[in-house]
């Protein structure tokens, strides 16, 4: 596994049953510079979301759970809002870096 410099982008996404809020890591200057590039990559099946909170779509914020990472199947995503350009950063210890497979 190689360390790759990434740019965290805050996102909110909806599946049939859940709402997720967290960060997707893009590769500035690379082929996956935008969140849409990751979603439209024919070789990708999952979207990795870090520093994530999730809750049932029919529930309220009090039902939210937190996790350091979630894998969401791209085909299950019904709606995604990227908040690009906002100054917020993830709270993770490895802020701004992600460990990715060599072929990513």
The CATH number that applies at residue 77 is 2.30.30.100
Query: Which sign, positive or negative, has the C-alpha torsion 16, 32, 11, 53?
Result: positive
**Does 16 fall in a domain?**
yes
Dump pLDDT digits (tens) for 4-61.
Answer: 788 999 999 999 999 999 999 998 887 888 999 999 999 999 999 999 999 999 988 8
pTM score above 0.85: no
**Does 97 fall in a domain?**
no
Both structure tokens of 93: 């210890």
What band does 103 get if pLDDT is binned at 50, 70 and 90? very low
Q: What is the DSSP string of 27-72?
A: -TTSTT-SHHHHHT-TT--EEEEEEEEEEETTS-GGG-EEEEEEEE
- Domain residues for the domain of 70 are 2-86
Domain count along the chain: 1
Which of 93, 63, 78 is closest to 12 using CA atoms? 78
């Amino acid at each position: 596994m190689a360390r790759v410099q990434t740019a965290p982008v805050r996102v909110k996404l909806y599946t049939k049953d859940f709402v997720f809020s967290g960060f997707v890591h893009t590769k500035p200057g690379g082929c996956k510079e935008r969140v849409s590039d990751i979603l439209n990559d024919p070789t990708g099946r999952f979207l990795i979301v870090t520093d994530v909170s999730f809750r049932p779509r029919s529930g309220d914020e009090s039902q939210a759970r937190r996790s350091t990472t979630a894998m969401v199947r791209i085909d299950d995503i019904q709606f995604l809002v990227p908040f690009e350009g906002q100054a917020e950063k993830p709270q993770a210890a490895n802020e701004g870096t992600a460990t990715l497979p060599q072929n990513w």
